[in-house]
Amino acid sequence: MSSIPGNSSKEISSDKSLLRAAVGIDDMAVYIPSLYLPLTGEFSRQRDIDPEKLTRGIGVERMAVPDAHEDAATMAAMSLLELMRRCDLQPGDIGKIYLGTESAVDEAKAMGTYVIGMLERVYGSGSFQGCSTVEFKSACIGTTLALESISYWVAAGEDERIGVVIATDVARYPLHSPGEYTQGAGSVSLLVKRDPRIAALEQIYGCFTRDENDFFRPLGCATATVNGKHSNQCYLDAMQGAFASYAAQAAQKGLIAPKRGECTTDWIEHLLFHIPYPRMVEYASAAILRQDWRNSRHWKNVEAEIGVEPEPQNYADLEKYQVDLAGYARSFARSRYFQQAYNAKVKDSAALSRQVGNIYTGSIYLGLASLLELRKVQAKERLCFGAYGSGCSALVFSARAMPGISSVPSRGLFERLERRREISLQEYELLHEGEGKESLNRPSEEFVLARIDHQGYRHYEYVR
């Protein structure tokens, strides 16, 4: 194989793991609202932010904005409808719909029941009555926990039907806050079945959970409360903990067996992380690769470029040690050796997020969609996912690309994003504050929230 740092020169592993884990993602559909706000220009001028900070420092260019008739439920129904049409699925083929969201529209009623109600407007009343649905809430990691759970149901094989996992969210922070330019909206639907065409799950899950106040949305609040810098650190701590757990389990089960000088990421072709904003993926991969390379052959190349990492036993002053260690971490992230591995294994997964923003629980799967649309994944390659949810929890797991991956048609997502309508800052602010009651794009061939009645029940329709 290539001389990319972090890739060994051997075939990635035997085909045994493919046979052992033949449950996974067969196809996926993505729905992104048809309105967007460019973050350079009017937004950066009015907010007095250097556009370079947004495009380079944060890594975003455009923010997807839901129209007045859209919410998390309509977006979920749109991605599911597209998945069913792409895969020629009928309602009776689907046994379970597990839906991850932190943009709930009801405190009790599962969003999936609204979604089923919408789909029945297309497929006929009662057509989904044999399908169960449940909502997974765990900030941005909810969909991944749903995927883990549904994969065991599919693997049990007691029901011939397939499972669907839906991620759907509107990421919303207060206007003028530092979270504002990371907002986005969208939904991803995953088809989970045996003998999947895209990727088979290897069923090893490294987990890390800790009670944190990094990001939360108390009952009744429309926007999240976020302790921004602290949230970045929680994300990194959790990801490092979950990756260590994944690596230990993968070694113990013989899935990844690094030889002398090798490390776990040598056995991984693609690292995908939760993407609150694209730069976070760079921070995450720097933290994971620094941890993973430290005891491997890569470390001498790192030391040759940026010197020796500070060690606590050489310091009398703990604060000074921490300052020097943080400086070393920054040098590592800027090093050529790391950047080469980052470009090869990680960077492309953030391509769609740059045009969309954070879609919370679906953003890691938007990362998968980026790789698929760019045709970056080849059969047999290993994808390692690092999901994160505030509060906080991380889950690291892997999947192997299947031979059928090249037969799955493109979704034309990059072209579709180019066809969106640009909106003004004023239009965006009205929609954000719930004051833009009229749709900016007249709905056509889509689900709409028609009204909310006096009891708070939501009425959805399909507009042809």
Among 229, 320, 375, 451, binds ligand HMG (CB under 6 A): 229
The number of residues that bind ligand HMG (CB under 6 A) is: 29
Output the smallest distance, CB 182 to ligand HMG, in A: 5
Q: Is residue 254 left, alpha or beta, with left meaning phi > 0 and alpha meaning psi from -120 to 50? A: left
> Scanning the structure block, which residue is given the tokens 């072209």?
415
Spell out the long-range contacts of 454-457 with Cβ–Cβ below 8 A and sequence spacing 24 or more. Answer: 456/106
Q: Please, which residue, 193 or 274, has the CB nearer to ligand HMG? A: 274
**Is residue 230 involved in binding ligand HMG (CB under 6 A)?**
no
Q: Which of residues 369-388 bind ligand HMG (CB under 6 A)?
A: 388
CA 307 to chain CA centroid, nearest Å: 34
**Of 65, 77, 80, 140, the one binding ligand HMG by CB under 6 A:** 140
Q: Read out DSSP for 376-417? A: ---TT-EEEEEEEETTTEEEEEEEEE-GGGGGSPP--HHHHH
239 binding ligand HMG? (CB under 6 A): no
Q: Does 52 bind ligand HMG (CB under 6 A)?
A: yes
**Residue 99 vs residues 25, 64, 143, 417: alpha-carbon distances, Å:** 15, 21, 7, 24
Residue 187 near residue 362, CB atoms below 8 Å: yes
When asked if residue 178 is in the footprint of ligand HMG (CB under 6 A), the reply is: yes
**Are residues 82 and 31 in contact, defined by beta-carbon separation less than 8 angstroms?**
yes
Interface pattern 399-438 for ligand HMG (x via CB under 6 A): ----------------------------------------
- Please choose, out of 3-11, 48-56, 197-205, 263-271, the segment that lies near ligand HMG by the rule CB under 6 A: 48-56
How many other β-carbons are positioned within 10 Å of the β-carbon of residue 430? 17
- Is 447 in contact with 460 (CB distance < 8 Å)? yes
Q: Which stretch binds ligand HMG (CB under 6 A): 115-123, 272-280, 295-303, 408-416?
A: 272-280
Single-letter code of the amino acid located at 32: I
Instruction: State which of residues 151, 182, 240, 398 lies at the interface with ligand HMG (CB under 6 A).
Output: 182
Q: Which of the stretches 274-282, 303-311, 347-355, 439-447 binds ligand HMG when contact is defined by CB under 6 A?
A: 274-282
Residue 170 near ligand HMG by CB under 6 A: no
Q: Of all residues in this chain, which one has the CB nearest to ligand HMG in the complex? A: 57
Residues with Cβ within 8 Å of residue 136, at least 6 apart in sequence: 98, 99, 100, 101, 142, 143, 145, 146, 149
Q: Please pick, from the candidates 358, 408, 443, 458, the single residue that binds ligand HMG as defined by CB under 6 A.
A: 358
Query: Nearest-CA neighbor of 6 among 346, 388, 239?
Result: 346
Residues forming contacts to ligand HMG in the complex (CB under 6 A) are: 50, 52-53, 56-58, 102, 139-140, 178-179, 182, 214-215, 226, 228-229, 231-232, 235, 274, 276-277, 280, 358, 360, 388-390
